Each structure stands twice: as structure tokens, then as C-alpha cells.
Amino acid sequence: MKLNKIAFTFLILLTVIFFGCSKKSDVKVIKLGHGLDASHPVHIAMEFMSKELVKNSNGKMRIDIYPSQQLGTERECVELLQIGSLGMTKVSASVLEGFAPSYTIFNLPYVFRDAEHLFSILDGEIGKRILKSSEKKLIRGVCYFDAGSRSFYTKERPINSPDDLIGLKIRTQESATSVKLVNALGGSATPISWGELYTALQQGVVDGAENNPPSFYLSRHYEVCKYYSLDEHTTVPDVLIISTKIWNSLSEEEQEWFQAAVDAAVIYQRIIWKEASEDALKKVAESGVEIIYPDKKPFEEKVVSLYEEYKKTNPDIYKLLQEIKSK
């Protein structure tokens, strides 16, 4: 590791160590770091949440938010949260697979029938059970934010069928299941951090990636990738998490103020997410991106093997899959 990288990492750690949960002038402040742009609907919903918390607590609590990887990458924020040096962060459910196996379910393709089915699961007993599953790793799941469905975008050719992925290097998140999914569809999965992806696309390190419409638009990846194929292979929510150390430091009343603010933000975020998705598709099309609506059936048939693999190697996830599909 280069010296300047060590110095930078140390500086981040030294800075963040004071940002977990501080009390100034009788106001309890929780620090929240994440990697999204400040114009992203999830960030806007978290700002709404902070205002709600101030209102609920009569000014006794607030959340200070640091977007755009100011406090580190997604994984670095999770690690800082685990030691209590950072109060909260937002991560993709894909990333949490490495901390709590139950989150693997969100990385499996075509699990949910539609948005109504998705929300009924997230808001119900199954969703709450998954949120609690990471507490042994000092991570408390707080809520899910809608992140739509993930689809492929590419530089050189459109994806009309799984065969079009053959020979293409496709960026994935750092998730074993995401890698298996892209490989099963015929692509060559290449995990790359979100912050490095634009350059990787420009330089040809990868030929494409997969994400939801607002992320495709706000990241400006549409400047490089001119084909967006809405196969909607996975529906992976974002998850707001809090350090168990910070959560346990809150009084019962403070926890109630906090949860009420979170619940209000979830409702608000689903409204603005829908609007942002529609606007993103409109904007990328205006910029010259060809939006493709492929037949999803060939994609679904191609990944049946993934279900069968989990039936043999991870019966708990397979059982959870069957439970969700039966709802």
C-alpha cells in the first residue's frame, strides 16, 4: 500500500472516529455517511428523515448526512459502523450478503412479481426478520429504501437476449450471488467499486454494468453506455443500517423518535423514487440512449440453475425463496 493511501485512510479513520454519535449542547447527533450523490432520491429521503427526527424530538436529536463517499466507500462505511466510529450508513442489500446470509435472497433473479409484492415482503414479517439477521455482526437493519430493479447497460451493443451478453465484461457489485447471476446469463462478471465504474467504462475495463434508472442517470454512465436493456433481473433494495453500539446508546424514547422518522422517510422515498425513475428514463433517452424492452422469459429460463444450486448448497435461502414466492 502506498504511503499516501495509508495517510488518507488514517485521516478518514481519525476524522470519522468523532462522528459516531455525539452530544453537543444537549443535541444528540448521529453521523450518516454514504456513497450516493446528493441529488439521489435516497439521499433526499434521508434528509427528510433527519428533519422528521428533529421535529419528533423537539430538536433534541438530528442526523448529519455525508454523501458521495466523503467518509469512505460503501464497505469502509460498514466497517466503521461495526466498530461504532460511524453511526449510520446506506448500503445495497447485495453488499450485506457478506455480513448476513439472509440478504442473499435479494440477489437472486426474478424473486418478486411486482412492486406490490416486493413492498408486502419488505414491510412484513419476512422483511423485518432479514433486517434483524445482521445484529450478530454489530449491524442493525433500520429500513429498506426502494431501489427499483436492476437492468443491463452496455457500450457497444444492446442486450436483447442472454446470448448478447456472451463475451462482455459486466461490472457487478461485490456480491458472490451477483457474480453468479451475470455468469449464468452468459456475461463475464467483473466486481468494481461504484466510484471507479465511470472510468472503468471509459477505458474499456468493462463493457457494461447493471443498475436501476436513477443510478444509471445520476452517475452519468449514460454518457458512455448508449444501450439500456430493461430485463429487470433483480430487485435489490437499499438498506439503511445503524451501529448496534449507537442504537443501544439511545434511550427507549429516542429510539421511538428515530423509528418514527425512519417510517415517514420510507413512505416519502417510495413516492419520489417512482418519479425519479420515470424522469431518468426520459432524460437518458433524450441524450441518445436506446432503451430496449427485451422479452424477460429467456432471461428467467437461463437462471433456473441458480435456484437449483441454492436448493442443494443453501437450503435456508431456497426455503426463504419458496416462502416469498408463496405470498
pLDDT value of residue 94: 85
Return the number of other C-beta atoms located less than 10 Å from residue 25's C-beta.
Answer: 6
Exposed/middle/buried for residue 48 (C-beta within 10 Å: 0-12, 13-18, 19+): middle
Quote the DSSP letter at residue 161. S
pLDDT value of residue 24: 60
Contact 57, 71 (CB under 8 A): no
Domain count, the chain: 2
Is the same domain home to 182 and 317? yes
Is the same domain home to 206 and 300? yes
pLDDT value of residue 17: 47
Contact 130, 151 (CB under 8 A): no
Is the same domain home to 134 and 264? yes
Quote the DSSP letter at residue 142. E
Give 278-287 pLDDT, tens digit per residue.
999 999 999 9
Is the same domain home to 292 and 265? no
pLDDT value of residue 98: 87
All cell numbers assigned to 276: 425519479
Is the same domain home to 107 and 154? no
For the chain, the C-alpha Rg in angstroms (whole number) is: 20
Return the number of other C-beta atoms located less than 10 Å from residue 184's C-beta.
Answer: 19
Alpha-carbon distances, residue 35 vs 38, 236, 306 (angstroms): 9, 16, 30
pLDDT value of residue 174: 82
In 3D space, the residue among 200, 201, 173, 211 whose CA is nearest the CA of residue 189 turns out to be: 173
Q: Which run of H or E residues covers position 199? A: helix 197-203
CA angle 225, 227, 233 (to 5 degrees): 105
Which residues of the chain fall short of a pLDDT of 70?
A: 1-19, 23-25
Q: Which run of H or E residues covers position 99? A: none
Is the same domain home to 121 and 163? no
CATH number of the domain residue 117 falls in:
3.40.190.170
pLDDT value of residue 319: 96
Is the same domain home to 18 and 95? yes
The torsion angles phi and psi of 37, rounded to 5 degrees, stand at: -70, 150
Contact 280, 218 (CB under 8 A): yes
Return the number of other C-beta atoms located less than 10 Å from residue 289's C-beta.
Answer: 20
All cell numbers assigned to 248: 443501544
The three-state secondary structure class of 109 is: coil
Domain range spanning residue 156?
150-235+282-325
State how far the Cα of 203 lies from the Cα of 268, in Å rounded to an integer: 38
Is the same domain home to 84 and 15? yes
Concatenating the DSSP letter of every residue in 244-311 gives HHHHHHS-HHHHHHHHHHHHHHHHHHHHHHHHHHHHHHHHHHHTTPEEE---SHHHHHHTHHHHHHHH
Specify whether the backbone of 68 is left (phi greater than 0), alpha (psi in -120 to 50) or beta: left
pLDDT value of residue 194: 85
Is the same domain home to 265 and 141? yes
Exposed/middle/buried for residue 4 (C-beta within 10 Å: 0-12, 13-18, 19+): exposed
Is the same domain home to 245 and 125? yes
The three-state secondary structure class of 92 is: strand
pLDDT value of residue 176: 86
Contact 221, 209 (CB under 8 A): yes
Is the same domain home to 15 and 77? yes
Is the same domain home to 158 and 297? yes
Which of 261, 278, 295 is the last residue in one of the domains? Answer: 278
